[in-house]
Structure 1
Amino acid sequence: MNHQFLTSLRAFIFSAALVHADKASSPLNFVFFIADDISYEDLGCYGHPTIKTPHIDRLASNGMRFNNAYLTSSSCSPSRCSIITGRYPHNTGAAELHTTLPENPSLFPLLLKDAGYYTALSGKHHMGKSANIAFSKISRGKGAGLEEDWVSILQNRPKNIPFFCWYASSDAHRDWAIRPGTPTYQPEDVIVPPYMVNGPETRRDLAGYYHEISRFDHYIGLVVEELERQNVLENTVIIVMADNGRPFPRCKTRLYDSGIKTPFIIHYPKGTKTGVSSSLISSIDVSATVLDLAKVPKSERIQGVSLTPIMKNPKATVRDLVFAEHNWHVYRSHERLVRMGDWLYIRNNVPDQQNLCVEAYIGGAGKELKAAHQAGTLTKAQMNIFQNPCPEEELYHVGKDPEQLTNLADNPENETILKTMRKQLKIWTEQTGDTLPKNLKPSRGSKEARNKKTKSEMPGASSGAQQINHPGPIRVQP
């Protein structure tokens, strides 16, 4: 039997099982909400004192909130490509901003579709045409945040088969689009992080960001209301997360928690113990979890692990380590992260330059930061994006230093943990085929970028990482 025949046979068997299941064992539905540029701490259920997110908060209070959920990239398209394939960015072939998935990728919604699910994507795509095969319906979305057709998709779905909806908001991506109907905020309402300038322009900038978070929450509320109206809420698993952190200096694209850590909520009261989990999880675990809950076999291409043990017991662990990447996103970069226990380690393989992101100089926050730098009034924390060169290694105790402001890599007392983190990163690099290209893609606007003869290489390309399925260390390796 050839592979194509076996795949078709498996799809037929699972499709038949799903379609003919009775109500007592009816398959689960899934609604996956992914925000655009929202940091983990910027929701009410994560303790933010100002931002109003009552609908997400309600899902969290009746489900499980994960306090240590890490993305594999803090950059839009690489993060989304990683989530939908369950693979690290350098293993997808789409490790950099605006790169698209190659042909015939492994896509977990496609496995659901082949198993008889109706699959729909609405809103921000950003993964390339190769991802289209995973969805029965694709919509660009409607409205300022691309959320206005979410309810109608549910209303018009086929009623005799289970469904999976990938709802991708463009909130809270710049530029801000203030619309009536959801909360607005005043500059005095905002909380300014210590690495930004506490000035009027920054405060106005953050107020616009807050509004878009509340709009994302508003449409989630409408979807939940529709699920209740259709009497399918109790049989629907809802996941809420973001693709990367807030679009502000030292957040988006960076590997600090403000950029790489995502809010992550699972609502499925029948199958999830209500509570809060501090267990480490990765965004590549979404794929394995959904397939596990749907009782659809996981592809060998998926590097993530299922979170169902944690859903049953918030204190359970499925991994000791999470890893993340910072590759090209307008600016040349090659950084890698390891989080283990309370320790976070970052390795910068191109420290001979500023570590910038698109938002470094734009918007009110970026402009005030740049002006303060020129005036020589920045604090040490605010100087971060202007460092040149940058430290090759950074080590933080996230429990004592949640903003990662004090680098402990040079402290001799931390030599043992530093060696452990280096070793785990080395093992992951080798097992997953990560590479430091000889010719990294240059920063946009640079002399290298203007030279049309300049050739660049994708991380993992020289090792054939697209064909490597090893997940790297899940547990700490000796």
Structure 2
Amino acid sequence: MKRLFLLALLLSASALRAADTPPNIVMIISDDHLWSDYGFMGHPQIQTPNLDKLAKESLTFTRGYVPCSLCCPSLASIITGQYPHQHKVTSNDPPIPEGMAKKALAKSPHFDEGREIMSRHLEEAGTLPKMLQQKGYLSLQTGKWWQKHYSRGGFTHGMTKGGRHGDDGLDIGRKTMAPIYDFIKEAQGAKKPFFVWYAPMMPHDPHTPPQRLFDKYKDKTPSEPIAKYWAMVDWFDETCGDLLKHLDDNGLRENTIVVYVTDNGWITNPKTGRYAEKSKQSQYDGGLRTPIMIRWPNQIAPKMSADLASSIDLAPTLLKAAGLEPTKSMTGLNLLDEAAVTARKTIYGECFTHNAVDLNVPATSLRWRWIIDGHTKLIIPDRKNQPSDVTELYDLQSDPTEEKNLAPEQADKVTALTTQLDAWWKP
């Protein structure tokens, strides 16, 4: 009995220490990266040794998803824990006024006015770094960031001053890692927990890898654009290795949660080097699926999980780990609650136009809604923006690249899943 009592005291003291010293958080977000383009996900050529190692050390969801296959709204969902129709940042850019050329928008007052509205929507939704300030966190933005100055997202430190999708922040990874290392040193000196947003524009185009990495892949594919993209993935992996090594070298591994996700997928057109169909901006898994990893040594047991996970789960998961409660608008799960994750069989998402139709009414920009139930995926097009599209139904287990539309022959399943989708959000 005495030994049990002492053990209880030790566990209680440990819990108190954990509450007093919340974990540091490093979020790694790749950009335009196909879900299968990793060694640990089975790619036969691309080498990602650092991410492979992270996957082995993490609770890794191989069937992770983002709700939207477009950078800006996807990133907004990661940082708010909300779907685009909730936080209202549905698109990359504001509407194009009638009669205005697309190229002229960025230099017009309409663009600045629209971006201001989008930034206000994000602030009103609430962001993870802003909420973490309640626990004394310092937070750093690097890489992709669309919502004007980094402080609009609740970051205490950052690189982006207000450019369209990152300005100075886009130097991270491609040119330097120093801003992250300097920030971590500052946070350690202040004895503050820290949150790092590492969202480099990698492997995103321009695909300009180091020559040594291009040479590594150029003879493994007849397409130079594909070789350049593969080399970009390899280069991105190297930067992740540098970041993770820095944590280790500074004694930060044990009390730092490392999270990995991508903002949306990418398939290289072998001729043009641009994105192919069924990837970025599409309603298909090539644009929506991503591995999701969470590493927290001695707190989370490493495991490869085939359970469904969504990027909207990340904010509530991290808030819980930091000793905070998710907001009522966060409908995602705590991914560390194994029973809840295993019990969930259905996830949802929505894709929108590149330029918004009405910045204050999400439904006006809707292209598709989708639902995955088990391994069955239903895609419903919006008749306003996709008038020629048909309803699509796929068995992702037998048809992961979504080639055979089963909707015409499985009308009952389409009806049942449409009812579920409408119960989630019916515009």
Residue 171 (str. 1) matches residue 202 (str. 2): yes
Contact 1:85 1:287 in 2 (8 A): yes
CA distance in 2, matches of 1:281, 1:131: 29
Over the aligned positions, Cα root-mean-square deviation in angstroms equals: 2.5
Query: Offset of 1:109 from its aligned partner?
Result: 1.5
Query: Offset of 1:235 from its aligned partner?
Result: 1.1
Aligned position for 1:444? none
Residue 57 (str. 1) matches residue 44 (str. 2): no
Query: Offset of 1:98 from its aligned partner?
Result: 2.5
Contact 1:104 1:130 in 2 (8 A): no
Taking the TM superposition and a 5 Å limit, the aligned residue runs for 1:165-244 are: 165-180=196-211, 182=213, 184-190=215-221, 200=222, 203-244=223-264
**Residue type at the aligned position of 1:297:** E
Contact 2:150 2:158 in 1 (8 A): no
Query: Offset of 1:326 from its aligned partner?
Result: 1.3
CA distance in 1, matches of 2:398, 2:22: 44
CA distance in 1, matches of 2:343, 2:140: 29
Aligned position for 1:475? none
Query: Offset of 1:427 from its aligned partner?
Result: 0.5
Match of 2:337, SS?
A: helix
**Residue type at the aligned position of 1:410:** P
Structure 1 residues 340 and 188: alpha-carbon distance in aligned structure 2, compared to 1, 3 A threshold: farther
Which of 321, 334, 349 in structure 2 is aligned with 1:324?
Answer: 349
**Residue type at the aligned position of 1:105:** A
Match of 1:334, SS?
A: strand
Contact 2:256 2:296 in 1 (8 A): yes
Contact 1:66 1:263 in 2 (8 A): yes
**Once the two structures are aligned, what percentage of the paired residues are identical?**
27
Count of residue pairs brought into register by the alignment: 360
CA distance in 2, matches of 1:422, 1:353: 17
CA distance in 1, matches of 2:130, 2:284: 32
Moved over 6 A (4+): none
Aligned position for 2:114? none
**Residue type at the aligned position of 2:57:** N
Match of 1:45, SS?
A: coil
CA distance in 2, matches of 1:421, 1:326: 18
CA distance in 2, matches of 1:91, 1:23: 33
Q: Which runs of 5+ in 1 are unaligned?
A: 1-20, 191-199, 355-388, 436-478
Aligned position for 1:94? 89
Query: Offset of 1:320 from its aligned partner?
Result: 2.2
**Residue type at the aligned position of 1:153:** F
Aligned position for 1:27? 22
Aligned position for 2:177? 148
Moved more, 74-83 or 271-280: 271-280
Taking the TM superposition and a 5 Å limit, the aligned residue runs for 1:17-166 are: 22=17, 26-98=21-93, 100-101=118-119, 102=121, 103-129=123-149, 132-139=152-159, 140-142=169-171, 145=174, 148-149=177-178, 150-159=180-189, 160-166=191-197
Query: Offset of 1:144 from its aligned partner?
Result: 6.3
Contact 2:141 2:158 in 1 (8 A): yes
Contact 1:123 1:146 in 2 (8 A): no
Query: Offset of 1:232 from its aligned partner?
Result: 1.2
Match of 1:263, SS?
A: strand
Match of 2:187, SS?
A: coil
Which of 241, 244, 249 in structure 1 is aligned with 2:276?
Answer: 249
CA distance in 1, matches of 2:242, 2:321: 24
Match of 1:189, SS?
A: coil
CA distance in 2, matches of 1:111, 1:308: 19
Query: Offset of 1:215 from its aligned partner?
Result: 1.5
CA distance in 2, matches of 1:301, 1:353: 29
What CA deviation, in whole Å up to 9, does each residue of 1:221-244 have, x standing for no partner?
A: 111111111111011111111100
Structure 1 residues 104 and 348: alpha-carbon distance in aligned structure 2, compared to 1, 3 A threshold: closer
Structure 1 residues 24 and 232: alpha-carbon distance in aligned structure 2, compared to 1, 3 A threshold: farther
Q: Which runs of 5+ in 2 are unaligned?
A: 1-15, 95-117, 160-168, 268-274, 357-364
CA distance in 1, matches of 2:19, 2:284: 45
Taking the TM superposition and a 5 Å limit, the aligned residue runs for 1:354-433 are: 389-391=388-390, 393-411=391-409, 414-430=410-426
CA distance in 2, matches of 1:420, 1:138: 46
Query: Offset of 1:92 from its aligned partner?
Result: 0.8
Aligned position for 1:334? 367
